Amino acid sequence: MPDFDVVLIGSGPGGYVAAIHAARQGAKVAIVEQKATEWGGTCLNWGCIPTKTLVQSAEVLRTVRRAAEFGVKVGEPEIDWPAMQERKDRIVKAMRQGVQGLLKSNGVEMVTGRGRAAATSSWRPDRWSPGRPSRAPTSVSPVTPSSASARSPIHWS
Ligand SMILES: Cc1cc2nc3c(=O)[nH]c(=O)nc-3n(C[C@H](O)[C@H](O)[C@H](O)COP(=O)(O)OP(=O)(O)OC[C@H]3O[C@@H](n4cnc5c(N)ncnc54)[C@H](O)[C@@H]3O)c2cc1C
C-alpha cells in the first residue's frame, strides 16, 4: 500500500471536499469509499440531490396546475413516475461521475473498500486492489473534526 499524507474514509461531501482541498495544498491523498456505486455519499446518492430533483418535478406539476391563473391553457397534468425517477437517476449519475472526475483530476487516489483506522499511525481498507504493495503508511494519523458543530467524537474501530 503506498504512503499518503491524508487518507479520507467516506466520499460524502465531508470526505471528497476535504480530499480535493488537501490535494490542492500539495498533499498525497487517498479516499476510501465502501460502496462502489455511491461515490458522493448520502447527499448525492440518497439525500440532497435526489430529493431536490423530485421536489422540482412536484414544483413543475404545481405550476402547470396553476397555468390558467397565468393565462395559459393546458390539459390536466399527469405524473409520469418512471420518467421522474429516470430524470432523478440521470442527474445523480452525472453528479456522481462529476465527483469522481474532480477527485481524479486533482490526483486523489480512489479506493473502493471499507476503510478503518487500524492504529494511530496507519490505516487500511479491508479490501485493497490486487497487485498493490501492502506496506502500511507511517505518516498518517486519524483525526476527528475540531469544528464546534461536531457534537460527538468519531470512534474508530
Ligand atoms: C433524504 C435526505 C435529504 C437531505 N437533504 C439535504 C439538503 O437538502 N441539504 C443538506 O445540506 N443536507 C441534506 N441532507 C444531509 C446530507 O446528506 C448530509 O449532511 C451529508 O451527506 C453528510 O455528508 P458526510 O460526508 O458527512 O457523510 P455521507 O454523505 O453520509 O457520506 C459518508 C460516506 O462514507 C461511506 N463510508 C462510511 N463508512 C465507511 C467506511 N468505514 N469505509 C469506507 N466508506 C465508508 C458511506 O458509504 C458514504 O458514502 C439530506 C439527507 C437525507 C438522508
- How much is the pTM? 0.81
Please write the tens of the pLDDT for every residue from 17-28. Answer: 999 999 999 999
CATH number at residue 25: 3.50.50.60
Tally the domains of the chain. Answer: 1
Locate the ligand 1 atom nearest the alpha carbon of residue 14 and give its number. Answer: 25
Residue identified by cell 491523498 is 29
**CB half-sphere exposure, 56, CA atoms < 13 A:** 11
Residue 51 placed within a domain? yes
Name every residue whose Cβ is closer than 8 Å to that of residue 141 and which is 6 or more positions away in sequence. Answer: 120, 121
Residue span of the structural domain in which 53 resides: 6-72+79-142
Residue 35 placed within a domain? yes
| Nearest residue (CA) to ligand 1, atom 45 | 10
The response to whether residue 14 sits with its C-beta less than 6 Å from ligand 1 reads: yes
Please write the tens of the pLDDT for every residue from 117-136. Answer: 876 655 566 655 543 433 34
| Nearest residue (CA) to ligand 1, atom 52 | 47
Residue 155 placed within a domain? no
Name every residue whose Cβ is closer than 8 Å to that of residue 19 and which is 6 or more positions away in sequence. Answer: 6, 8, 11, 29, 31, 103, 106, 108
Compute the distance between CA of residue 88 and CA of residue 47 in angstroms, rounded to an integer: 12
C-alpha cell at 116: 478503518
